[in-house]
Amino acid sequence: MRRKFVQLAALLLVLCLLAGGAAVPSEASGAALDDRVIRVGLAYSGYQSRTIDGANLANDTGHGFRLGYFDDSNRFVQLGTTAEEKISVVETVNVGYGTSGGYTSYHASLAGSASVVVGEYHLQLPDSYATFEEARAAAAVYQGGFPACIGGAFRARIANCASRPEALAVQERFAEDGVVTDIVGTTAYGVSVVITGTDTILFQYDDKGSGTGLGIMPNAAGGDEDFVTLFNTEAFGRDNNRWYGGFRYERVGGGNLTVVNMVKLGDYLKGVVPIEVSSSWPIEAQKAQAVAARTYALANLNAHRSAHFDLCPSTDCQAYSGLARAAANSDRAVEETAGVTVKYNGTYASCNYYSSNGGASMSAKDVWGTNYPYLMGKADPYEASINVNNYWTFSCSFRELTSKLNLSSTAAGARITEYTDGGNPLTIAFYGADGRLLASKTTAQLVRALGLKSYHYELGLSGGSSSGSSGSGGGLAVNGSQALTGLDGLYAVDGNGDTFVLPGDVWVITGDGTSTAESWSGSSGGQDSGLYTGTNGIFVISGRGAGHNVGMSQWGAYAMAKQGLTYDQILKFYYTGVTVG
C-alpha cells in the first residue's frame, strides 16, 4: 500500500494565469479549504445504494486502526486502537460471515447457517472504567473479553452468544468461578468491531441514538501520513477499493449500517475528477472540473442530512469511488487549483454540470423550476467544434406516448410552440386526431416522462422532415405566399355551414389539380416546427447531448481547453456573472 504524503510546498507551484484569469488563493487559504473534512455516503438507504449488516476494512501499512468517533466539527476523537490490519464493523444483531448479494462480509441472513457467527448477547462485568485501555485490560483477563463504550461509559464485556439461553449457560459457568456478570446486549444503535472472518470482538460501541456513530481512522501509530484504506461493498463492483480518510458507521434511526467516508475535500476531489472526466483530457478542462466539483460540494454540504452525511457518490451528487481511477493529471488539476471556487455575489455557486448539451444549455428555471442567475441557458458554439458521439433517438407508438404523458385521449400529432433563447425546445403542444389541443408540456416534463437523454432535440428524424408524409414540408400558401406553417387555429366549413377544427391529416388540391397530403411542417433549430404527425406512423424524437444541460458542459470544457482557453474562462462562460478565485 502506498502512503500519500501531503506536500504543502507543492501548492505553491501554481502557474501565473493569463490576463482575465482566476485569482489564485494563498497557499494557506487553499490548503485550509481543501483540508476541510466532508462526509460522503458509501452505503446508505437511498437511490442505487443500501444499508448493510457488515463492512470490511483493511490496510497493509502494519499500523492498524484508531477507534473513536467524529465530533460535530467532523474532528476525529480517539478512544482506543487496534493493531489488527483487517477488521469488520457489524451491527449488534446475530450475523454470520459469508457471501450474500455478491459481498463477502457479515450478514444477518447468514446467522443461522454460517460457521462463523457473531452473537448479540454478552456478559458484562459490574465495574465501569475511565478509559478504553482500562476497560480492555479488565476484559483481557477472560477469554473472549473486549472493551465497550456504551452511551459514553467504558465497560468490560465477555463472550458473544446467539441466544439468551446460550448466554445464561456461559454466565453460570463464570458464576461457578465466582465471577459476577450481567447478560447484556446493546440498543438498536450498537455496532461491534471484529477481526474479519472471525467471531472475535475487538470493541463494541453504542451511541444510544446520539448520532455520533463509530469512527475509524487508519494508521493507529499516528503521524502526518495520509494512509489509504481498503473498503468495498457490492455497490462499487470491485474488490479492495482504495480510499483516503476515515470512516463512520452509524445505524441511522436504529436501522442497518450507514457507511460514510470522512475525507478531506482535496482528497475527495481526487476521487471525483478522474471519474467525471478523463484524466487524459487537457489539463485546463480537468482544472475547470476540479473547481466546479469543489464549489458544488461546498454549496451542497448536508444535502443528505436525513442520513447524516453531505454528498452521495453517484451522479445524483457527484460521481466518486475513492482512488479507483486516480491519476497524476487529475491529482495535478486538484492541487494546482487548491482552494479555488466559483462564487456569485460572494456565495458559493451550485456548479451543476453534465456531459454534453448538444448545442445549447438550459436555464435552471426551465429544468428544475428554480431560478439561479448564474445558471442561465445559452447557445454553446464549442461542442460544435469537436466530434462528440452524443446523438440519440427516442421512439414509441402514439398510444404509448399518450400513456406516458397521461393525455386525455390518444395523441396524433405534436408541435414545438416555444424555444429557449439558445434554441432548445421549451414547450410542446400535443393534438388529437380531430385537431383538438390535448395538452402543452414543457421540455422538462417531456424529458422526465419519456426518459430523454438531453434537452436538445427535434421532432422526427434528425436532419429529415418533421412530417410523417413525404416531402420537406414548408407551409400552406395563402394568396400566393407562404403564410401558414401549421394547422393550429385553422377551421374548415362543411356543407351545412358548420365550422370545425382541421384534423391532423388534411388533403388539399395543388395548382395542377392533383390531390396530395400535406401536414405543412416547418423547420427546427429555433423556428416554428409545424405539426409533426409521426415518422412511418411512429412518434420519433432525435437529439444530441447527454445530461440535464444546466451549467457546465464537460465536453464543451474539453473543446474550450483544446482551443487554448483557461479553466477560469471556461467556468465564466458556463456560469453567468460569477467570480473565480
- Residues 122-167 have pLDDT tens digits of 999 999 999 999 999 999 999 999 999 999 999 999 999 999 999 9
For residues 363 and 376, is the Cβ–Cβ distance under 8 A? yes
> 449 φ, ψ to 5°?
-70, -35
What separation in angstroms does the CA of 262 have from each of 6, 107, 202, 245? 17, 24, 22, 6
Q: What is the pLDDT of residues 26-71, one digit of tens each?
A: 444 677 999 999 999 999 988 667 889 999 999 755 589 999 999 9
Rounded CA-CA distance 528/486 in Å is: 9
Apex 525 CA angle, 519 and 528, nearest 5: 40
How far apart (Å, rounded) are the C-alpha atoms in residues 154 and 536? 75
Stretch 434-438: mean pLDDT, rounded? 95
Instruction: Give the percent of the chain with pLDDT over 90.
Output: 73
Angle at 301 between CA 39 and CA 224, to 5 degrees: 40
Q: Are 286 and 273 in contact (CB under 8 A)?
A: yes
Q: What distance in Å separates the CA atoms of residue 382 and residue 370, rounded to the nearest whole number? A: 26
- Of 398, 348, 341, 354, the closest CA to residue 380 belongs to 354
* Domains of the chain, residue spans: 7-36+266-387+547-581, 39-262, 391-544
Secondary structure class of 74 (helix, strand, coil): coil
* Mean pLDDT within 200-221: 92
Gyration radius (Cα) of the chain, Å: 31
pLDDT cut 70: percent of the chain above it: 80
Whether 341 and 298 have beta carbons less than 8 Å apart is answered as: yes
Which one-letter amino acid corresponds to residue 109?
A: S
Cβ–Cβ under 8 Å, residues 280 and 339: no
Q: Which residues of 46-62 are buried (b: 16+ CB within 10 A; e: fewer)?
A: beebebbbbbbbbbebe
Output the average pLDDT for the chain: 85
Per the CB < 8 A criterion, the answer to whether 285 and 561 are in contact is: yes
Find the largest Cα–Cα distance for the chain. Answer: 115
User: What angle, rounded to 10 degrees, do the helices at 328-335 and 283-299 form?
Assistant: 60
Could you tell me the three cell numbers for 309?
Answer: 452525511
CA-closest candidate to residue 454, choices 575, 366, 543, 378: 543
Q: Rounded mean pLDDT of 217-223?
A: 72
Report the range out of 118-127, 214-223, 232-241, 471-480 with the highest average pLDDT.
Answer: 118-127
pLDDT band at 358; cut points 50, 70, 90: very high
Distance CA 257, CA 57 (A): 14
